[in-house]
């Protein structure tokens, strides 16, 4: 559904009040950010994720939202927070975020620190800053009476950085909310390049693959013989080399992240590490590789999988191989509806005196939760805090830009819900 662009020439009195409220709440917003960042909520720290949810729950309840937790014990993750206001006018808007970070309790990077106009801390940008922007938006709309009669659903997942499996369980609530909405807005960090903000209308997906090779084994003096064949590692090398040469196309990346081979291979329960054993005078019997695919569209992903299967099937003598795939995040394609939302955002930018935001190249950011709903609803990502160093110690956020992002998103939500 293509959403019409609103023609804002000047702010209404209600919108002006929204803007003033956000400017006045800057110190309170930063204080909430500090409080959230100082709670460790690494994805695997379910208790910490719950603690963040417990802090956020009353914030939404004070704004008239009905809040519940969706427990994820089945997939060994912390809860999701779901907040709803049901109204009678405007578009039904879904706001998306996540409460977890990549920094587990064992990380030495644990605390919020101020540094001039910026801040550093675990998740300060990705994406506790985005949670604060979202709440600043909703508080300002509430103060202006602009939430009355609106239909807004908030879904904050507790495992975005390392989703619980199966995805059908851990993303069920998000998908259901997307199917009931007219527009979805994700508050992960705003992409900022060389002093300019960008909109995110598309994101590549994430699919894992596992390649297993088996071959005859014996003394290395017999390799390449008719009886022995080429061994598992040569077969693995053939396949990976063919992947590198034959799969390349625009907007697609694929990478083997772990390769093991020898007389025996042992993978860890999660498949993220492993060991191999063998001897230099033995033809290797087994090889395993694990990697990922980042595709721009569902069609590109399907095409790449078929090419990979065909390459794997061209076995060297004495070897066999199979490849399996596990879809984690679907692609978010750049639809006309997504671009219409970006156009609406640029109308808001003009009204605020901010530069227009061009589209971000989808190669410039990773997969995200919004892709689970973009198949069903017009979607826009990257409305949260800007910063640097996400997923690494020293992660930063630009506090000076916090009110800008909140005002921008608030007027967008206001236009959609009115």
- Quick one: 392 exposed, middle or buried, by C-beta within 10 A (0-12, 13-18, 19+)? exposed
Fold of 13-203+332-417: Aminopeptidase (3.40.630)
pLDDT tens for 340-385 read 999 999 999 999 999 999 999 999 888 999 999 999 999 999 999 9
Dihedral sign, Cα of residue 211, residue 216, residue 217, residue 222: negative
Among 409, 410, 364, CA closest to 193:
364
pLDDT tens for 45-67 read 999 999 999 999 999 999 999 99
- Quick one: 237 exposed, middle or buried, by C-beta within 10 A (0-12, 13-18, 19+)? middle
Angle at 364 between CA 363 and CA 365, to 5 degrees: 100
Phi-psi region of 20 (alpha: psi -120 to 50; beta: other; left: phi over 0): alpha
pLDDT tens for 266-315 read 999 878 899 999 999 999 999 999 999 999 999 999 999 999 999 999 99
Query: What number does CATH give the domain 206-329?
Result: 3.30.70.360
pLDDT tens for 377-417 read 999 999 999 999 999 999 999 999 999 999 999 999 999 99
pTM to 2 decimal places: 0.90
Domain coordinates in residue numbering, the chain: 13-203+332-417, 206-329
Give the residues across from 183 on adjacent strands. 93, 378
Same topology for domains 13-203+332-417 and 206-329, yes or no? Answer: no
Instruction: Report how far residue 259's alpha carbon sits from residue 50's, in angstroms, rounded to the nearest whole number.
Output: 36
Instruction: Report how far residue 330's alpha carbon sits from residue 399's, in angstroms, rounded to the nearest whole number.
Output: 32
Instruction: Assign 151 to helix, strand or coil.
Output: strand
Cis? peptide before 166, omega within 30° of 0: yes
């Amino acid at each position: 559904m293509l959403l019409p662009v609103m023609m804002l020439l000047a702010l209404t009195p209600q919108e002006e009040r929204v803007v003033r409220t956000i400017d006045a709440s800057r110190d309170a917003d930063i204080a909430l950010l500090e409080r959230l960042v100082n709670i460790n909520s690494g994805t695997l720290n379910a208790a910490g994720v719950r603690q963040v949810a417990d802090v956020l729950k009353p914030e939404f309840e004070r704004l008239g939202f009905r809040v519940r937790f969706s427990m994820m014990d089945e997939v060994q993750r912390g809860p999701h927070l779901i907040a709803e206001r049901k109204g009678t006018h405007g578009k039904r808007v879904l706001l998306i975020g996540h409460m977890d970070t990549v920094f587990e309790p064992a990380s030495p990077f644990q605390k919020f620190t101020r540094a001039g106009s910026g801040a550093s801390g675990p998740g300060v940008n990705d994406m506790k800053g985005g949670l604060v922007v979202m709440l600043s938006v909703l508080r300002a709309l509430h103060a202006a009476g602009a939430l009355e009669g609106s239909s807004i659903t908030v879904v904050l997942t507790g495992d975005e950085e390392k989703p619980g499996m199966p995805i059908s369980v851990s993303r069920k609530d998000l998908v259901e909310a997307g199917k009931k909405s007219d527009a979805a807005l994700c508050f992960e960090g705003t992409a900022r390049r060389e002093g300019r903000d960008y909109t995110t209308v598309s994101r590549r997906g994430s699919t894992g693959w596992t390649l297993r090779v088996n071959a005859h084994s014996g003394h290395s003096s017999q390799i390449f013989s008719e009886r022995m064949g080429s061994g598992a590692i040569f077969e693995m090398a053939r396949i990976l080399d063919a992947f590198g040469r034959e799969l390349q196309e625009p907007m697609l990346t694929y990478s083997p992240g772990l390769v093991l081979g020898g007389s025996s291979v042992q993978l860890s329960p999660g498949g993220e590490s492993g060991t191999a054993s063998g001897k230099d005078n033995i033809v290797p019997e087994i090889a395993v590789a694990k990697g990922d695919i980042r595709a721009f569209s569902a069609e590109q992903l399907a095409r790449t999988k078929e090419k990979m299967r065909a390459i794997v099937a061209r076995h060297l003598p004495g070897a066999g191989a199979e490849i399996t795939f596990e879809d984690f995040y679907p692609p978010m394609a750049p639809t006309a509806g997504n671009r219409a939302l970006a156009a609406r955002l640029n109308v808001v930018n003009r009204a605020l005196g901010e530069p227009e935001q061009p589209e971000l190249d989808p190669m410039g950011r990773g997969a995200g939760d919004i892709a689970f709903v973009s198949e069903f609803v017009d979607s826009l990502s990257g409305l949260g805090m800007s910063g640097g160093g996400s997923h690494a110690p020293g992660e930063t956020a630009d506090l000076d830009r916090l009110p800008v992002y909140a005002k921008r998103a608030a007027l967008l939500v206001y236009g959609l819900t009115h």
